[in-house]
């Protein structure tokens, strides 16, 4: 497929190397981002890469949309409550690991009332393969009780109410608002944090800084799915240790100076 080329120049002079310093600024259980193990930013977070123009940002998202018109999240869930639980369980764990545990759990507890009735010890039996399962079990039971007591057993369509739930921070609230309620939020996980910094699309030293820059840069028409496109791009193409630049849709737009253009170098 022929695609438009904006510019193949990159800020190659901005040599950045890589580090594994985690960003600060997350909260509660989300002190390390959910849906991830550790953010793996690079010195690009501190390097000044040439900013993207509005035309380039639009071009990048046009390509993402063309390649994947309806991107989906990868955490298995069957309703807003099970989505919320799955995201809470995904903190410092992989989606694949959470997806192995949750179908059996959600078969018996797909509402806050059923989760409270299940109880912490039996919940642990379902999620003990997931890291930090004891803390997460406490949070899931506590948030389920809160949903029953304060929200009639529903998941609130409200950021402040979501972030007030045990184990829920800004990133989890953004995922729920986006997937369950169709809000154009951008939940910055480890992949988006890395892609934002590495490409120069949205550089920041904290997830909130990256989120704020993406909010400003991404055209409204692409905001609903921007979160999924960027996560999937980071997970499967712009990978942490070795980005697969040779097959990257936005290679000509990306500012990363150390592009990996050789498939054999995997």
146 scored as a contact of ligand SF4 (CB under 6 A): no
Stated length of the chain: 266
61 scored as a contact of ligand SF4 (CB under 6 A): no
Q: Which stretch binds ligand SF4 (CB under 6 A): 87-95, 135-143, 158-166, 235-243?
A: 235-243
Asked about 95 being catalytic, the answer comes back as: no
250 scored as a contact of ligand SF4 (CB under 6 A): yes
Q: Which stretch binds ligand SF4 (CB under 6 A): 83-91, 121-129, 144-152, 250-258?
A: 250-258
Among 177, 214, 256, 257, binds ligand SF4 (CB under 6 A): 256
245 scored as a contact of ligand SF4 (CB under 6 A): yes
CB 32 to ligand SF4: min, Å: 22
- Could you tell me if 138 and 132 are in contact, meaning their C-beta atoms sit under 8 angstroms apart? no
Query: Which is the catalytic residue, given 43, 76, 136, 189?
Result: 189
Q: Which stretch binds ligand SF4 (CB under 6 A): 60-68, 114-122, 137-145, 239-247?
A: 239-247
Among 139, 144, 199, 203, binds ligand SF4 (CB under 6 A): 199
Instruction: Tell me whether residue 84 or residue 240 sits nearer to ligand SF4 (CB atom).
Output: 240
The dihedral over CA atoms of 83, 86, 88, 94, expressed in degrees to the nearest 10, equals -130
Instruction: Tell me whether residue 83 or residue 245 sits nearer to ligand SF4 (CB atom).
Output: 245
Asked about 158 being catalytic, the answer comes back as: no
CB 151 to ligand SF4: min, Å: 40
* Axis-axis angle for helices 120-127, 133-151 (nearest 10): 130
CB 253 to ligand SF4: min, Å: 8
Burial class of residue 242 in the structure, from the number of CB atoms within 10 Å of its CB (0-12 exposed, 13-18 middle, 19+ buried): exposed
CB 195 to ligand SF4: min, Å: 6
- Interface with ligand SF4 (CB under 6 A): 198-199, 237-238, 243-245, 248, 250-251, 254, 256, 259
Catalytic positions? 171, 189
């Amino acid at each position: 497929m022929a695609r438009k080329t904006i510019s193949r120049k990159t800020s190659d002079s901005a040599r950045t190397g890589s580090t594994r310093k985690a960003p600060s600024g997350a909260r509660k259980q989300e002190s390390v981002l959910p849906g991830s193990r550790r953010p793996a930013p690079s010195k690009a977070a501190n390097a000044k890469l040439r900013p993207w123009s509005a035309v380039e940002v639009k071009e990048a998202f046009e390509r993402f949309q063309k390649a994947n018109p309806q991107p989906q999240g990868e955490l298995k869930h069957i309703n807003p409550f099970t989505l919320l639980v799955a995201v809470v369980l995904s903190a410092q764990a992989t989606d694949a690991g959470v997806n192995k545990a949750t179908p059996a759990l959600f078969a018996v507890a797909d509402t806050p009332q059923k989760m409270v009735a299940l109880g912490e010890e039996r919940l642990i039996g379902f999620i003990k393969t997931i890291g930090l399962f004891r803390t997460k079990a406490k949070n899931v039971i506590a948030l389920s009780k809160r949903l029953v007591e304060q929200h009639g057993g529903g998941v609130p369509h409200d950021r402040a109410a979501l972030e007030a739930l045990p184990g829920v921070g800004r990133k989890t609230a953004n995922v729920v608002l986006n997937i369950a309620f169709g809000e154009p939020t951008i939940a910055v996980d480890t992949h988006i944090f890395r892609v934002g910094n590495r490409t120069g699309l949205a550089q920041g030293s904290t997830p909130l800084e990256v989120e704020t820059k993406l909010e400003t840069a991404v055209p409204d028409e692409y905001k609903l799915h921007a979160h999924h496109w960027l996560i999937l791009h980071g997970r499967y193409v712009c990978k942490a240790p070795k980005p697969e630049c040779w097959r990257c849709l936005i290679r000509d737009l990306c500012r990363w100076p150390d592009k990996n253009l050789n498939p054999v170098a995997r």
